[in-house]
Homo-oligomer: A and B are copies of this chain.
Amino acid sequence: MSERRTITPTHRYRNNDKLIGIGNTFWNLSEEHGVAGIVGDLHDGVFRMADGHEFVNFTVCSYLDLDTHPRVIDGAVAALRRFGVLDHCIPRTRVQTTVLLELEESLGELFGATVVSAISTAAASTGLLPLMASGHLGNGTRPLMVFDKNAHVSMANAKPSCADETEVVTCRHHDLDFLADMCRRYERVCYVVDGSDSLGGYAPVEELAELQDRYDLLVFYDDSHSLSAYGERGIGYVRTHSPVLDERTITVATLSKGFGAGGTAILLDGYPQQTRRIIERFAGPLGYSQKMNAAAVGAAMASAEIHRTDELVELQGRLRSNIALFDSLLATEQSGSTYPIRVVPMTDETVVEAAQRVFAAGFYVSPVFFPIVARGTAGLRVMLRAGQTGEQIRRLASVLVEAGAQPAGPVAR
């Protein structure tokens, strides 16, 4: 049987050998050191493990702690009772109850956009990007798809599908010159990028708007990390700062991080009703797979109501205070930013041990490493939230310094 064919892969856009080869080693190392694969019961913001160890999780994306807000949970329960079914199992393009339509109307009003819901941001990006590649979402012209090198894997994984509908390239992080050059060379260009990065930082939305105005550049943003946490009524970074809120800007943003519910919102402007139908019918999983269930919808409706009140302003203020407190204690590259994520620099050699030490002291901060970040830029990822106490933040900072982190400024500590 030795004559049977073996296969050589193309590995144009993905490479599991490489991804898993490097990634799995680090995951295994993390798990062996007890800083991954952690299981516990969560009560009142404190995790308790089977062995009795207790810790506060500083790597949760619920920036405003709305996910545990009693009104949000009550909203989920109320929707279950009202609709009496989690998901009426038939594509909504055929028959639907009002559950998703009510949510989309509420979110549309809240964010000043046309909103289409999806079960997750991954499902939304998986479905939308190939439609943009083929020009069906856009202006009909098949664009060159330029993926930012750092675009989250939920977007990057759509490259092979997009590449069957158009040309696909990857550019350096926020490389505006390259984009301008491509805009001059191609009839149309679509740039795929995080509006707010999972490792801290925002997209250059104003500079991109200039390219959008000049060259009709289409931009696909994933703004999941700034929704709720940033802007009036939690509108997020992109919609706060981009002057181009029309058919040239398409944004997806999860309802499961700052928003505290589940599912995702696709935010559109300037598209006709017909485009909405194209999305519902042909945007991959949106057309054939599960939808946001009634509990997630009920939670999101309740969270939307909170977004309309002063409570949101208060929560955003507490988050900002916590960020400022952290920055007053520790030096990071993100210091001074409104962004709720900080990466405390460590070396590839020390990062896991440092995480272990911090964990033993009662805090979980996740070690990040290749392939999540480039080699040599390892660190401990800290996510600030509105609900953390000043005491928790001070204690964490003190433990981080003991583990090798650099204190802030000359008079820190």
Contacts and interface: CB of A to CB of B under 8 A. Distances in A.
Interface of A: 1, 4-7, 9-17, 19-20, 23-24, 27-28, 31, 36-43, 47, 57, 59-62, 67-68, 72-73, 76-77, 80-81, 83-90, 93-98, 101, 119-123, 126, 130-131, 133-134, 136, 141-144, 152-154, 157, 160-161, 163-167, 184-187, 254, 256-257, 261-263, 277-278, 281-282, 284-285, 288-290, 293-296, 299, 364, 366
Contact of A154 (B5, B41, B87, B288): B288
> Which of A16, A37, A67, A257 gathers most chain B CB within 10 Å?
A16
Copies of this protein chain in the complex? 2
Contacts of A38: 94-96
Contact of A47 (B16, B95, B167, B284): B95
B90 A282 contact: no
Contact of A88 (B67, B96, B261, B290): B67
A290 B119 contact: yes
B157 A160 contact: no
Contact of A16 (B10, B122, B131, B285): B131
Contacts of A187: 1, 4-7
Contact of A121 (B17, B277, B289): B289
Contacts of A277: 24, 27-28, 31
Contact of A39 (B97, B153, B256): B97
Nearest to A21: B136
Contacts of A130: 14, 16
3 tightest A-B contacts by CB?
A295-B295, A16-B134, A122-B289
Nearest to A93: B36
A57 B90 contact: yes
Contacts of A28: 277
Nearest to A255: B290
Contacts of A122: 123, 284-285, 288-290
Given A6-B142, A57-B95, 15 more contacts: A4-B185, A7-B187, A12-B164, A13-B164, A14-B165, A20-B278, A23-B282, A41-B98, A60-B89, A80-B80, A86-B295, A89-B257, A123-B289, A154-B285, A157-B284
Nearest to A143: B7
A59 B286 CA distance: 18
Nearest to A277: B27
A291 to B, nearest CB: 9
A144 B122 CA distance: 27
A27 B281 contact: yes
Contact of A123 (B10, B97, B285): B285
B84 A68 contact: yes
22 contacts: A4-B186, A5-B144, A5-B185, A7-B142, A7-B187, A9-B134, A9-B166, A10-B163, A13-B164, A24-B278, A38-B95, A40-B97, A41-B98, A42-B84, A47-B95, A61-B89, A68-B85, A89-B257, A126-B157, A160-B163, A262-B290, A293-B295
